[in-house]
């Protein structure tokens, strides 16, 4: 690491490469942090979590008890041992609380003053963070499995919603109305995701085993349906043509650049697709245990090379190399099934929630000091005991100073 910093200082190493190398190292040494706890507020399983990207310090969680919690992830104590405190809660005593299980929570991408939640009580609510009161309530007529706001949209304010209905519904934040439906699935829509590359491109996964990619400006149907066989007829009669999985497709996640799409299904498979043409890249991740009948929240790393994907599998979170399919590590710490995980790109940390009502923080292990640095330290201290730290010296000071 010191060699890389020296090369960067000399202009021999691109700063982006250095950043990617250090981000990758930190992800590869993620471990459960015994010094950091997250307030245990939920009385039932945790279905969904989301970390805002404006400041990177606030996290939302939604549980099967209908409760929504906002946590502050910052460490204000200055000590390594601290607890991420809940700063406000939409609890059972709040008259606006969801009546049944909260399935998805998401911060508004451009402002922490607003977030959106959806629930099995057939509603989706847009909340004012300051007052913890809903500014808008959408009645969707059926259990809501998933919703998503585009992280990049500037020309529309649409929320895509997957419900018990086979139609993907589009709700407009500006008008407060359901303005459009996308028809093509034949069973409930379990997961929806907007592309982080093109603001009008949307992906949806359904219990009918199909994953569809839509351009919401088109009225003629989906752009294409993902086919695990890439158009070739299956030799096995049990595998239907035109399906992404042989079971319920319940997990979706785009890569950071939007060029690839990951899907998971109850056939215990995870597949990587080219998002431009829907081609199955045929990356083999092996068996990826998945028994969830609802949405499974997976997460992809950002700012590193190679890219990694975090997948809840039973009571652990498994880390895979995105493009090789190799299993890198397994993060074990939960006492029951894990339903969601969220990657924190600012600090290369991971937060996971499960049916044990716990949110666990997985953080990079601190790099041990270099041996050479340790051996040189006493000599340097003896030679110049009051020498200032070179990190705080500017590089342009003149000799006269």
Angle at 248 between CA 215 and CA 263, to 5 degrees: 55
Q: What is the total residue count of the chain? A: 401
Least confident of 33-42, 47-56, 177-186, 360-369: 360-369
Q: Provide the b/e sequence for 190-207 (b: ≥16 CB within 10 Å).
A: bbbbbbbeebbbbbbbbb
pLDDT band, very low/low/confident/very high, at 392 (cuts 50, 70, 90): very low
Rounded to two decimals, the pTM is 0.87
Strand, helix or coil for residue 165: coil
Query: Is there a contact between 261 and 277 (Cβ–Cβ < 8 Å)?
Result: no
191: nearest Cα among 163, 222, 153: 163
Q: What mean pLDDT comes out for the span 365-379? A: 57
pLDDT digits (tens, 9 = 90+) for 130-157: 999 999 999 999 999 999 999 999 999 9
Whether 270 has a pLDDT exceeding 80, the answer reads: yes
pLDDT at position 8 is 64
| The pair of three-digit structure tokens given for residue 393, joined into one six-digit string | 């010296």
Q: How confident is the model at residue 168 (pLDDT cuts 50, 70, 90)?
A: very high
- Residue 121 to residues 67, 140, 308, 391, Cα–Cα distance (Å): 12, 9, 35, 55
Tens of pLDDT, residues 47-79: 999 999 999 999 999 999 999 999 999 998 888
Residue 293 pLDDT: 87
CA distance 58 to 71: 6
Number of other residues whose CB lies within 10 A of the CB of residue 55 = 11
Lowest mean pLDDT among 22-26, 224-228, 266-270, 333-337: 22-26
CB neighbours of residue 303 within 10 Å:
17
pLDDT at 96 over 80: yes
Cβ–Cβ under 8 Å, residues 211 and 260: no
CB 125 within 8 A of CB 96: yes
Pairing of strands 359-364, 349-354: antiparallel
Is residue 390 over pLDDT 80? no
Alpha-carbon gap, residue 160 to 215, rounded angstroms: 12
Q: Which residue has the tokens 């070739």?
A: 232
Closest CA to 193 of 209, 206, 174: 206
Bridge partner residues of 69 (DSSP): 61, 89
The candidate with the shortest Cα–Cα distance to 361, out of 84, 70, 26, 107, is 84
Residues 199-240: pLDDT tens digits?
999 999 999 999 999 999 987 889 999 999 998 765 544 556
Residue 116: which pLDDT band, with cuts at 50, 70 and 90?
very high
pLDDT digits 0-9 by tens, 306-353: 899 999 999 999 999 999 999 999 999 999 999 999 999 999 999 999
The four Cα atoms 179, 219, 226, 109 give a dihedral, to 10 degrees, of -40
Structure tokens at 347: 């600090």
User: 212 has which bridge partners?
Assistant: 204, 225
Four-residue CA torsion sign, 79, 81, 84, 87: negative
CB atoms within 10 A of CB 39: 16
Report the mean per-residue pLDDT for the chain. 88
């Amino acid at each position: 690491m010191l060699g890389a910093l020296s090369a960067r200082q000399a202009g021999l190493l691109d700063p982006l490469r250095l950043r990617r190398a250090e981000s990758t190292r930190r992800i590869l040494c993620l471990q459960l942090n015994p010094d950091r706890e997250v307030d245990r507020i939920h009385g039932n399983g945790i279905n969904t979590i989301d970390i805002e990207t404006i400041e990177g310090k606030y996290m939302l969680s939604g549980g099967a008890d209908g409760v929504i919690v906002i946590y502050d992830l910052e460490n204000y104590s200055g000590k390594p041992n601290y607890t991420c405190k809940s700063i406000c809660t939409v609890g059972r005593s709040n008259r606006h609380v969801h009546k049944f299980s909260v399935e998805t929570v998401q911060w508004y991408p451009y402002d922490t003053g607003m977030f959106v939640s959806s629930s099995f009580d057939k509603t989706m609510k847009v909340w004012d963070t300051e007052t913890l009161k809903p500014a808008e309530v959408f009645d969707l007529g059926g259990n809501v499995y998933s919703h998503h706001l585009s992280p990049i949209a500037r020309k529309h304010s649409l929320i895509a919603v997957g419900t018990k209905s086979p139609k993907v519904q589009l709700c407009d934040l500006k008008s407060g109305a359901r303005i459009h439906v996308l028809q093509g699935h034949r069973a409930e829509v379990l997961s929806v995701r907007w592309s982080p590359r093109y603001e009008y491109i949307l992906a949806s996964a359904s219990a009918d085993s199909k994953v569809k990619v839509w351009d919401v400006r088109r009225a003629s149907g989906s752009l294409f349906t993902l086919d695990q066989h890439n158009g070739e007829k299956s030799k096995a009669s049990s595998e239907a043509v035109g399906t992404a999985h042989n079971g319920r497709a319940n997990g979706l996640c785009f890569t950071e650049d939007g060029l690839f799409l990951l899907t998971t299904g109850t056939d215990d498979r995870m597949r990587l697709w080219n998002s431009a043409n829907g081609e199955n890249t045929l990356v083999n991740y092996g068996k990826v245990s998945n028994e969830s009948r609802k949405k499974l929240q997976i997460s992809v790393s950002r700012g590193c090379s190679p890219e990694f994907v975090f997948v809840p599998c039973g009571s652990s979170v498994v880390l895979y190399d995105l493009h090789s399919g190799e299993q890198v590590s397994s993060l074990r710490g939960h006492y029951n099934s894990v339903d969601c995980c969220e990657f924190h790109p600012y600090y290369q940390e991971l937060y996971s929630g499960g049916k044990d009502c716990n949110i666990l923080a997985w953080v990079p292990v601190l790099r041990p000091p270099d041996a050479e640095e340790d051996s040189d330290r006493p000599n340097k201290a003896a030679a110049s005991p009051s020498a200032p730290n070179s990190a705080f010296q500017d590089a342009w000071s003149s000799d006269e100073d």
